[in-house]
Structure formats: C-alpha cells, structure tokens
Amino acid sequence: MAALPPYVGPMGRSWHYGFRVLCAMIFLFLIAPILVIVPLSFNAEPYFTFTKAMLSLDPDAFSLRWYQDINNNPQWSLAIKNSFIVGTSSTLLATTLGTLAALGLSRPEMPYRTAIMSILISPMIVPLIITAAGMYFFYSNIGLAQTYPGLILAHTALGTPFVVITVTATLVGFDRSLTRAAANLGSAPTRTFFKITVPLILPGVISGALFAFITSFDEVVVVLFLAGFEQRTVPRQMWAGIREQISPTILAVATLLITFSVVLMTILELLRRRNERMRGIRAT
C-alpha cells in the first residue's frame, strides 16, 4: 500500500482512512453471510444455527459428519460428477467458440461488429428465466431436453459471452505488427497463430474459460428447466435439498463451493497481473 504524499493535510488523511474503513465495513457486510456458513458446516447437530456448545468452542460440538455424508450419499456424488462433466465440456466449447468470435470481431474489416457483439453477449443481458424458458421450448422440439448434450449446449451459450469479453479486452492491446513481421519472414498463418497470437492472448482465454466454468458450475435456473434426475448438478441438488429434505450437508457443499470459487478467483487475479506485466502495465 502506497504512503500518502507529504502535502496531504489532516482532512485528507481523515478522508483517506475513513474511506478505507467504510469500504471494509461494506465488504464485511457483503461477505458475512458466506462466512457464517463455514463454521455451521462443522456442526455436530443437524441444525442450521449455532448451538451453545459451538459458541463455547466445545470440541464435541464440531464434526465432519456432513462432509462424510457428501461422499456416502449417491445423489450428491452424482451431482458433483454431473457438474464437472457439464462444466468442463461447456467450458471447452465456450472457450473455443468465444475465442474464435473475439478474434473475428477484433479485425477492423469485420462488418457489423457492434451488432454481432450485442448478440453474442445477449445471454448476459436477457433475464435468465427468459433464456431458460426459450431453451426449454427449443430443446424440447429437437429432443435435447433432459439430456447431457442439451445441458452442455445451454451452458455453452451462457459461458461464451464471458470468453468473448475477456479475449476481446486482451486483443485491445495486441501488437499486430508481430503477426505482420512473422508473415514477412515466411511464417504460415497457422504457425503464426499458435506461436505468436495464442501465447499473447492466453491469459484472456484462460480467464474467460474460468468465468465460463464458474458460470456453468453455479447455474441452477437453466438446470431446473432442462435437466432430468440423472442430469442433476450440485446447485440443482442443493435446491432440491432445501425444498425436500433440509440437511446441513448443504452447508458442507456450500463451504466446498466457496473454497473452490476462492481458488478460481485467485487464479484469475494471478492471470490478470501476468497479463498486465506482459503488456507493460505496472500492477497495482
């Protein structure tokens, strides 16, 4: 954290530190509901509240029984497997399609770039319930409802805009003189693409892929419309658990998802800093 300039007066210093305290309080307000879930997932009793024994830090009040239940319950095991299958497959498709679209939209001779970009990112703008309903009617007519391919394609449509946006942002600072120099030296377009273009835009591609994976892994509305029992994902299983059988196992799963999301966001931040270093921007 940079020190304040020496010319800043008492009022400026008060505002500086007061603003930081205010930001910290807002951040705590936003993250407090998430922080409460973590200790509750270790509750030895089947309750969603802190017991007296937990508040007194009694070791017997804490247990891993709900984490063990995830492994012992076949429905949770199926949901976790489905989430990774659908998430990984849709991420690969979304990354490929989104990267190709971003490369095309970055070319100055591309016609109607603004209109095409608006269409590509429309799944981020249109209310998700409308998108899910439209997908349900469309996929039902072609026989893809309640199937893995249908669910993968639906999640691909939701994740592609994130890839398009991140790769397009990376291409803004792309030095096209490098590709022209490679062409002048006799490099084939394919070799130029994989040896020059891909390494330079790779941070944006990976960032978009992670966003697409998170979008797929956390999606529940589309799954409610398109998935059958065999295609239940983790968010769908959590939704069913809240409605049908309330169990602290949901809290254990939520804690694992929080940890997983924190790891992915850390990777995204590291990739962002690496991208800034490659573009000659000083990280702050």
Question: Which one, of 87, 84, 82, lies nearest residue 231 by Cα?
Answer: 82
Dihedral over Cα of 259, 32, 245, 48: its sign: positive
Domain co-membership, 85 together with 218: yes
Distances (CA, A) of 245 to 46, 99, 237, 240, 248: 12, 42, 11, 8, 10
| Residue-level pLDDT at 91 | 94
The range of the structural domain enclosing residue 50 comes to 10-61
Number of domains in the chain: 2
Domain co-membership, 127 together with 38: no
Domain co-membership, 24 together with 143: no
Domain co-membership, 38 together with 109: no
Residue 188 lies in a domain: yes
Domain co-membership, 102 together with 200: yes
- Give the global pTM: 0.78
Domain co-membership, 40 together with 101: no
| Residue-level pLDDT at 193 | 81
Residue 141 lies in a domain: yes
> And the tokens for 96?
């490929």
pLDDT digits 0-9 by tens, 11-61: 777 787 888 899 999 988 888 888 888 888 888 887 777 888 888 888 888
Domain co-membership, 17 together with 146: no
The per-residue pLDDT string of the chain (284 residues; one tens digit each, 9 = 90 and over) reads: 556 677 767 777 778 788 889 999 998 888 888 888 888 888 888 777 788 888 888 888 888 888 888 888 888 888 889 999 999 999 999 999 999 998 888 877 778 888 888 888 888 888 889 989 999 999 999 988 888 999 999 999 999 999 999 888 888 777 777 777 887 878 888 888 888 888 888 888 888 898 899 888 888 899 989 888 888 888 888 887 777 667 788 888 888 888 888 888 888 778 777 766 765 555 44
On the 0-12 / 13-18 / 19+ scale of CB atoms within 10 A, 153 is middle
Residue 20 lies in a domain: yes
| Residue-level pLDDT at 283 | 46
- What is the Cα–Cα distance from 15 to 206, expressed in whole angstroms? 38
Domain co-membership, 36 together with 144: no
Domain co-membership, 139 together with 87: yes
- What is the Cα–Cα distance from 70 to 97, expressed in whole angstroms? 35
Domain co-membership, 37 together with 173: no
Domain co-membership, 54 together with 186: no
Residue 121 lies in a domain: yes
- What is the Cα–Cα distance from 1 to 117, expressed in whole angstroms? 38
Residue 4 lies in a domain: no
Residue 29 lies in a domain: yes
Domain co-membership, 236 together with 155: yes
- What is the Cα–Cα distance from 29 to 11, expressed in whole angstroms? 27
